[in-house]
Amino acid sequence: MKHFISLFDCTRDEVLDLLSLADRLKRERRAGVVHPLLAGKSLGMIFTKSSTRTRVSFETGMYQLGGHALFLSSADIQLGRGETVADTARTLSRYLDAIMIRTYRHEDVLDLARYGSIPVINGLTDLQHPCQVLADLQTVAERKGRLEGLRLAYLGDGNNMANSLLHGCAKVGMDIAVATPAGYACDPGCVEEARSDAAKHGSRVVLTDDPDEAVAGADVVYTDTWVSMGQEQEKAERLAVFEPYRVDVRRMAMAAPDALFLHCLPAYRGYEVDADVIDGPQSVVFDEAENRLHAQKAVLVALLAGA
């Protein structure tokens, strides 16, 4: 694994190995084991989108692994003032051991990998969010003891989260049902890739506009904000369109009795999810948020320490 850009690019074994490594790093960290696996290594973190979990988890993860993280906002580097992605990639490759980028255009991540000579990690783009889904899979496996054969329901916008959940579930043999309103479907390329993996690993991909159909009997119920960064001007329209897709107590009761509720955060109670659900006993959103740290540490170690 040279880069971590999309879960579709990984083999099934690579994903499972990352999850196993994340579990071990988490367990040993809690036991007081020190992991100086990336001593002397530097990670450049490029942000053109603001962040809480991505910045703190990557920066803390590099520190815990003995390395160093540099925060590079678009206001502070020449990339935000007209320098090409190619020139930025070539330059940073002379200084750093890896680059993590959280940005809008997925093509920028691909170009960093194409023109640079060091590993590139996709911290989020408008198309995909693979780091989050790796943490999601870790969280589900911790609670359920397995991934293969489970069923995840995603309700809401067919956005970067939905696209990467399609990839992640199909890769590990989980069924996934995605319910989106007309005009807000997942990326067709990501759907095709997920269906290809699902056929290999014995799982199903279901796309529907009916949230009740998607959630019926699900082991995991997942949603995301209806208004992502950069979509603020569409807020009123989006709130009206997505209102029927809210995850409330009634809808959670349609899932399996022991179903988990997941959300990548930040969450907006009263919109995509009711407070009774996200703050209720089936919610594991803060375990999920914590696992961003452990899952991303596993990615860093795999890319930079050859684990």
Catalytic-role residue among 97, 126, 197, 224 = 224
Beta bridge mates, 247: 273
pLDDT (mean) for 77-87: 84
**From CA 306, how far away is CA 3, in angstroms rounded?**
12
Q: Which residues pair with 178 in a beta bridge?
A: 154, 207
| Cβ neighbour number for residue 282 with a 10 Å cutoff | 18
Pick the catalytic residue from 264, 274, 282, 296.
264
The mean pLDDT of 30-51, rounded to a whole number, is 96
Q: Which pLDDT belongs to residue 99?
A: 98
Q: Is 264 a catalytic residue?
A: yes
Please give the model's pTM, rounded to 2 decimal places: 0.97
Q: What does the H/E/C string look like for 178-228?
A: EECCCCCCCCHHHHHHHHHHHHHHCCCEEEECCHHHHHCCCCEEEECCCCC
Asked whether residue 16 carries a pLDDT value surpassing 70, the answer given is yes
Q: How many CB atoms lie within 10 A of CB 269?
A: 12
Residue 95 is encoded by which pair of tokens? 């200084």
Q: Which residue is associated with the tokens 């799982």? A: 203
Model confidence pLDDT, tens digit, residues 183-194 = 999 999 999 999
Give pLDDT tens digits for 228-274.
877 888 899 999 999 999 999 999 999 999 999 999 999 999 999 99
Residues facing residue 154 across a β-bridge: 178, 222
Give strand pairing partners of 101. 46, 122
Residue 73 forms beta bridges with which residues? 47
Annotated domain spans of the chain: 7-128+289-304, 133-288
Catalytic residue among 132, 138, 282, 296: 132
pLDDT for 80 equals 63
Question: Active-site residue 10, yes or no?
Answer: no
Q: Do domains 7-128+289-304 and 133-288 have the same CATH topology?
A: yes
Reply yes or no on whether the pLDDT at 179 is more than 90: yes
Domain 7-128+289-304 is in which class?
A: alpha beta
Annotated catalytic residue, options 3, 106, 167, 292: 292
pLDDT at 115: 97
Q: What is the structure's pLDDT at 229?
A: 72
CB atoms within 10 A of CB 201: 15
Task: Give the architecture (CATH level 2) of 133-288.
Answer: 3-Layer(aba) Sandwich (3.40)
Q: Look up residue 160 and give its amino acid.
A: N
129 in active site: yes
Catalytic member of 106, 129, 167, 238: 129
HEC sequence for the chain = CCCECCHHHCCHHHHHHHHHHHHHHHHHHHCCCCCCCCCCCEEEEEECCCCCHHHHHHHHHHHHCCCEEEEEECCCCHHHHCCCHHHHHHHHCCCCCEEEEECCCHHHHHHHHHHCCCCEEEEECCCCCHHHHHHHHHHHHHHHCCCCCCEEEEECCCCHHHHHHHHHHHHHCCEEEEECCCCCCCCHHHHHHHHHHHHHHCCCEEEECCHHHHHCCCCEEEECCCCCCCCHHHHHHHHHHHHHHCECHHHHCCCCCCCEEEECCCCCECCCECHHHHCCCCECHHHHHHHHHHHHHHHHHHHHCCC
204 among known catalytic residues: no
Exactly one of 3, 53, 55, 102 is catalytic; which is it? 102
Average pLDDT value over all residues in the chain? 96
Phi, psi for 44 (deg, rounded to 5): -90, 130
Contacting residues for 41 by C-beta, under 8 A, at least 6 apart:
62, 65, 66, 67, 68, 97, 98, 304
